[in-house]
Amino acid sequence: MEWVYRLSAPDYEDMTNLPKALRKRLADDVPLYRSRIIGKQESQDGTTKLLLKWPNGATSECVLIPEGPRRTACISSQVGCPVKCTFCASGMGGLKRQLSASEIVEQAMRVRQLCDDAEHLSNVVFMGLGEPLANYDATVRALCIINAEWGMAIGARKITVSTVGLPKHMRNLADEGMQITLALSLHAPTDGLRREIIPWAKRATIDSLIEACRYYFERTGREVTLEYVLLGEVNDGDQHARQLAEVAKQMRSNVNLISYNPVEGLPHRRTSRDVAQRFLNTLRSAGINAHLRPSRGLDIDAACGQLRRREGTTDEALDREGIPNE
């Protein structure tokens, strides 16, 4: 564990205090890194995105996001995504397969290896491709390894799981006994509008999500982050801001307004800076703790699923490689 997680040894061969025969057996039986880095893009703002290819041909994206002293790894939980939000590139080809716990952790390790010693990886967010709570067991195992002292030793509060909102699994996660930060992709303040932009919203009402968030806070003491991607003339009106404030007030939460990262082929537009600022002010004057997040890595298509599409590892390419569409 020390060699793998603390010293980031790339290979068993480097673990020179282990007997040679053991090193060979380990290399044969439990391969250390299974992905190949087949794409790397660096943004002017320092955001670096990796495209990893797994032995069976599937690909995942992971991103290093530097921000002041913070170094955040954004990792994927599935290949593709079953949710198909109207503004997101990840679901455009549907879900290809689940990632295993080791594949999820490997992404965080690959990103950590992009950091230097002075500025080591400080945060991990499950905001890449996929719906982490729809791959619950692997996600929780990966969370344990990323959090463990013997593992990547990243504090639970510095790990964020972002979910489209599956109340039962949000409760289960609360019961795991870790103080993971939970982010809920709300994106709309009413069930009607939410169902227009998030197909899975029909599985859970906003009221049931509020209940699940309240439970999460009771069990973990962690405020839930409400994510809200501003989509021009869809969910960015004054009435939406007021309705959102009413939702946010019903639990211990903070609101993260996210600028839309345009995706080719999808029908949405960015909200102007003035409208975004007004939306933020409306929330704040209603007493909500809200922030406006600038987009990172715009010049490298850093929104979920974009690099993977750009590299042609889309449906058709995966189908050619025989990856089953689940």
Give the nearest distance from C-beta 306 to ligand SAH in angstroms.
Answer: 8
Give the nearest distance from C-beta 237 to ligand SAH in angstroms.
Answer: 18
Task: Candidates 42-50, 82-90, 174-182, 210-218: pick the segment binding ligand SAH (CB under 6 A).
Answer: 82-90
Indicate which single residue of 87, 98, 124, 308 sits in contact with ligand SAH (rule: CB under 6 A): 87
CA angle, 124 then 128 then 129, to 5°: 145
97 vs 34: CA distance, rounded Å? 16
- Collapse the DSSP code of 281 into the 3-class scheme (helix H, G, I; strand E, B; otherwise coil) and give the result: helix
> From the candidates 62, 74, 213, 304, which is the catalytic residue?
304
Q: How many residues bind ligand SAH (CB under 6 A)?
A: 18
Distance of CA 92 to the CA centre of its chain: 17
85 vs 67: CA distance, rounded Å? 27
Helix (H) or strand (E) holding 49: strand 48-53
237 vs 34: CA distance, rounded Å? 46
163: contact with ligand SAH by CB under 6 A: yes
Indicate which single residue of 5, 12, 54, 260 sits in contact with ligand SAH (rule: CB under 6 A): 260
Active site residue 304: yes
Indicate which single residue of 229, 244, 245, 276 sits in contact with ligand SAH (rule: CB under 6 A): 229
- Dihedral through CA 18, CA 24, CA 30, CA 34, nearest 10? 110
Active site residue 85: no
Which chain residues interact with ligand SAH by CB under 6 A?
83, 85, 87-88, 127, 131, 162-164, 185, 227, 229, 258, 260-261, 263, 303-304
Catalytic residues: 61, 304
